[in-house]
Amino acid sequence: MPVALITGAGGNLGQVAVSQFLQKGWTVLATVSPGKSWPGNPHPNLHCYAIDLRNQAAVSDWLREVFVSWNHIQAGLLLAGGFAPASLQQADGTSLKQMLALNAQTAWNVAQPLALHMMNRNNGRIFFIGARTALHPENAAGALTYAFSKSLLFRFSEAINHAGLQHNVRSYVLVPNIIDTPDNRRAMPSADFTSWVKPEYMVEIMIRLADSGYQSEETVLRLY
**Which among 145, 141, 146, 112 has a CA at the least distance from the CA of 129?**
146
Per residue in 190-218, pLDDT tens?
888 888 899 999 999 999 999 866 677 89
CB count within 10 Å of CB 120 equals 13
Question: Alpha-carbon distance 172 to 106, whole Å?
Answer: 17
**pTM of full prediction above 0.85:** yes
Is the model's pLDDT at 120 over the cut of 80?
Answer: yes
Domain ranges of the chain: 3-82+107-136+150-223
Tell me the pLDDT tens digit for each residue of 131-171: 998 898 887 677 889 999 999 999 999 999 999 999 999 99
| Cα-based distances in Å from 208 to 69, 71, 205, 212 | 25, 22, 5, 9
- Choices 3.40.50.720, 3.30.70.120, 3.30.70.2860, 2.20.28.10: CATH for 3-82+107-136+150-223: 3.40.50.720
